[in-house]
Amino acid sequence: MDNELADTAYEKRLRVAVIGAGGWGYQHARAFSSRDDTKLVAIVGRTLSRTQARAERFKVPWYLDIDEMIEKERPDFVSVCLPAQQNFEPTMKVIRAGISLLAEKPLSYDLAQAEALLSASREKNLFFAINFNQRYSIPCLKARTTIDEGKLGNPIFALWRFGHGWGADTLSHPYLNAIEAQCHGFDMLEHMFGPIAALSAEMTDNGGKKGYGTFALSLSFKNGAVGSFLATLDANDANRNCQYLELSGTRGRILIEDNYRRYSYQETGSETEEVWQAPFFADAERCFGHNLDRHLDDLIPAFLEGKEPPVPADRGLRALRLAMAAIESFEKHTRVCTE
Q: pLDDT tens digits, residue range 251-267?
A: 999 999 999 999 999 99
Distance CA 135, CA 159 (A): 16
Distance CA 65, CA 102 (A): 19
pTM reported for the whole predicted model: 0.94
Where do the H-state alpha helices sit in the chain? 2-11, 23-33, 48-58, 66-73, 88-96, 111-123, 138-148, 176, 183-193, 291-304, 314-332
Instruction: Please name each of the domains of the chain with its CATH number.
Output: 2-126 (3.40.50.720), 134-288+298-337 (3.30.360.10)
- C-beta atoms surrounding 189 within 10 Å: 24
pLDDT in tens, the chain (339 residues): 454 434 445 568 999 999 999 999 999 999 999 999 999 999 999 999 999 999 999 999 999 999 999 999 999 999 999 999 999 999 999 999 999 999 999 999 999 999 999 999 999 999 999 999 999 999 999 999 999 999 999 999 999 999 998 877 788 999 999 999 999 999 999 999 999 999 999 999 999 888 999 999 999 999 999 999 999 999 988 888 899 999 999 999 999 999 999 999 999 999 999 999 989 888 888 889 999 999 999 999 999 999 999 999 999 999 999 999 999 999 999 999 998
Q: pLDDT tens digits, residue range 193-218?
A: 999 999 999 999 999 888 999 999 99
Three-class SS of residue 324? helix
Distance CA 229, CA 51 (A): 38
- C-beta atoms surrounding 210 within 10 Å: 12
- C-beta atoms surrounding 131 within 10 Å: 25
Distance CA 152, CA 265 (A): 9
